[in-house]
Structure 1
Amino acid sequence: MMRVLGRITSINVRKVLWALDELGESYEREDWGMPLRNPHEPEFLALNPNAQVPVVIEEDGPTLWESNAILIYLAQTRKALLPLEPHALGQSLQWLIWQATELNPPWMYAVHALARKTPGYDDQAKIAESIAGWTRRMAILEGELAQGRPFIAGESFSIADIALALSVHRWFITPFADKADLPSVAAYYDRMRAREAGARWMPDDTV
């Protein structure tokens, strides 16, 4: 039995939960992360000194943090959710890393301002800058998906699709005007939400 520490409003926690559901794994989840439970408590810091969710604790296994590292660990130990063919494997890991390093950072200000209504995120110039950077990255994803493959690394669903689909969900659910038309991304989003676990972890009321 795996313990997952983290709140479900975290996109990174939902990555792990989606993967576990795809694998048919049993797990217990505990609420951690503000505003539910402060991850700076000593109990949590002993597990992850960065005070970030998720953390996973596997019986007779490691304690891990960093969502993409957890995804790779699950795929490697369960022999699933990653392609075996080297080129497809490289593509999957490429897009998994791109999601974290290129796609995620630009949206932060816009999501806080427009979706979460976080106090202090009301600078219109910074909102516009955030949306512009986000849109440029989404256009890169649109170009890749327009090549017609059902999944980001080819014919097989992988952990990269989990990470990207959750990011795409955030794009569609964050309200702002003049959102770019991305038909291939929209079709991909529909395919990912057609999966049972995808529908569960990309609900309409969670950014």
Structure 2
Amino acid sequence: MSERHQAGTARPPRAATTAARRALAVAVVASAGAAGLALLAATRTWAVEVTERAAPLPPASAVRTGAALAPVIPAFALVALAGAGALLATRALGRSVVAALMVASGGAVVAGAALTMADADAGRRLWPVLCLAAGAVIVAVGAVALRQGGQWPSMGTRYERAPAPVPDGSRAVRSTQEGRSDPARTPGRRSTGQFWDAIDRGDDPTTD
């Protein structure tokens, strides 16, 4: 009874397991949503450059998206989006590496938006602000994953099965059957190939 009690107390409580799964789900959804928001904001128009031309030609306008002004934003937003999925599939050291990459990716998104904020038109600065917020969320999720990710479950944990133990008696019977099925392992007996070799040499294969 004491051994069963100790084994039962060694397992994590169901409430703690549920809380860990909920934290992992929130981290994945938050990072994926923030990365998607950064990608969306980077594809919007941040500035319109108007260039005067000689008459009678009208002024030429050039549209600048966030991706054109700061290419690092969509690039690292994609890295963060991939990291959101990798949080589910990794654990231990692998999850720590993913979390560190997410912190770096979020920081790059924040830096790219901050550096190009002044290049955006006054009426279109909502998009770089959204990129700043999205990058901050990605950094926060990565930092939490670095600190608590080791306690979160992985995607394939519940499907893992330990190999079934083989009884010692079954191993002994199997090894005995394997030994009997192979004439070459039995002293005093010859294999079929050895019989044919003896006949080719002109020897009597029935004699040892």
Q: TM-score, normalized by length of structure 1? A: 0.32
> Scaled by the length of structure 2, what TM-score is found?
0.32
